[in-house]
Amino acid sequence: MTIQINKLLTNGKAIFLAYDQGMEHGPSDFNLKNVDPNYILDIALEGHYNGIILQHGLAEKYYQDYYKDIPLIMKLNGHTTITKNEPISRQFCTVERAMKLGASAVGYTMYPGSDRQEDMMVEFSKIVDKAHDYGLPVILWMYPRGKYAYNPTDTQLLAYCARIAAELGADILKIKYNGDLEGFKWVVKNAGKTKVVISGGSKKGEHELLKKVDDIMQTGAIGLAIGRNIWQHEKPFSLTKAIQSIIFHNKTVDQAKKFLE
Ligand code: FBP
């Protein structure tokens, strides 16, 4: 069956809004405004995001008809920072439940370098098998972590992660940018036909963030899956427009900054 990926893209590029940090990091990421999922969904809708990333509980309670124009990317696994064992992110939402709740894609986090890496590879492969039966695209978060990830930002390791994503059938790979612009082209190359998006990371200054977006768009990545930098910002719509101007309209960092004046 054809994978319905075009719904997630604008001219082959994308910006997704991530909001699974409540589980991944806990409430320390939030304030009184952004703790409310409706605040985030409004940013996604009015900011014309290519998708909103949610866990199934929030999707069920908040992703109502009103928001149906934003494609839902359902995160199928997750972990918390409460326990401190060797990194593993387990599946607790099925592809079927994701579809019932209106998902246009499913997402899964893997920690290459963890003692439990193979468990996640097997679990992920079953998800790909099922999701692709329904034509649902699969996004794979690849975050090197754990006892064998000696240097998680190493370019060759990130390229290895990209290759694993391609070989396991991911349609989109979500990975962290390590700041090595030339080297990262090799990472993207290794992903083959798997499209690459970059995660935002913790909140940074506007110039630093826009420069990062500008850099990653030169590596062959198709865009971003970003969370905290947007919904922790006091002007999320202006910042969204600035980032979109680089991703979709090839604007420079200085031109993009005009949206923030
Ligand atoms: P941010 O842009 O806020 O970094 O979100 C991207 C993301 O991948 C989220 O989907 C996820 O919750 C978080 O980062 C996990 O980050 P980490 O595991 O590095 O703490």
CATH assignment of the domain containing 180: 3.20.20.70
**22 in a domain, yes or no?**
yes
Instruction: Find all residues with CB under 8 Å of 189, minimum gap 6, and list them.
Output: 159, 220
**89 in a domain, yes or no?**
yes
C-beta of 21 in contact with ligand 1 (< 6 A): yes
CA distance 103 to 53: 10
For ligand 1, atom 4, the nearest C-alpha belongs to 201
Q: How would you class 132 by CB atoms within 10 Å of its CB: exposed for 0-12, middle for 13-18, buried for 19 or more?
A: middle
For ligand 1, atom 7, the nearest C-alpha belongs to 199
Question: In whole angstroms, what separates CA 195 from the centre of its chain?
Answer: 12
Distances (CA, A) of 8 to 20, 73, 101: 18, 9, 17
Q: Which amino acid is at 261?
A: E
CA of 21, closest atom in ligand 1: 12
Domain total in the chain: 1
C-beta of 107 in contact with ligand 1 (< 6 A): no
pLDDT of residue 1: 80
3-state secondary structure 104-144: EEEEEEECCCCCCHHHHHHHHHHHHHHHHHCCCCEEEEECC
pLDDT, tens digit, 9 for 90 and up, residues 45-90: 999 999 999 999 999 999 988 889 999 999 999 999 999 899 999 9
CA 17 to ligand 1 centroid distance, Å: 11
**173 in a domain, yes or no?**
yes
Give the structural domain span for 167.
6-260
Find the Cα–Cα–Cα–Cα dihedral 81, 71, 240, 142, rounded to 10°: 40
pLDDT, tens digit, 9 for 90 and up, residues 204-244: 999 999 999 999 999 999 999 999 999 999 999 999 999 99
CA 168 to ligand 1 centroid distance, Å: 21
pLDDT, tens digit, 9 for 90 and up, residues 99-146: 999 999 999 999 999 999 999 999 999 999 999 999 999 999 999 999
For ligand 1, atom 12, the nearest C-alpha belongs to 21
pLDDT of residue 66: 81
What pTM was computed for the model?
0.97
**1 in a domain, yes or no?**
no
CA of 75, closest atom in ligand 1: 10
For ligand 1, atom 11, the nearest C-alpha belongs to 21
pLDDT of residue 126: 98
The SS3 assignment for 200 reads coil
Which residues participate in catalysis according to the annotation?
Answer: 143, 174
**70 in a domain, yes or no?**
yes
pLDDT of residue 49: 98
C-beta of 199 in contact with ligand 1 (< 6 A): yes
pLDDT of residue 64: 82
C-beta of 144 in contact with ligand 1 (< 6 A): no
CA distance 141 to 177: 12
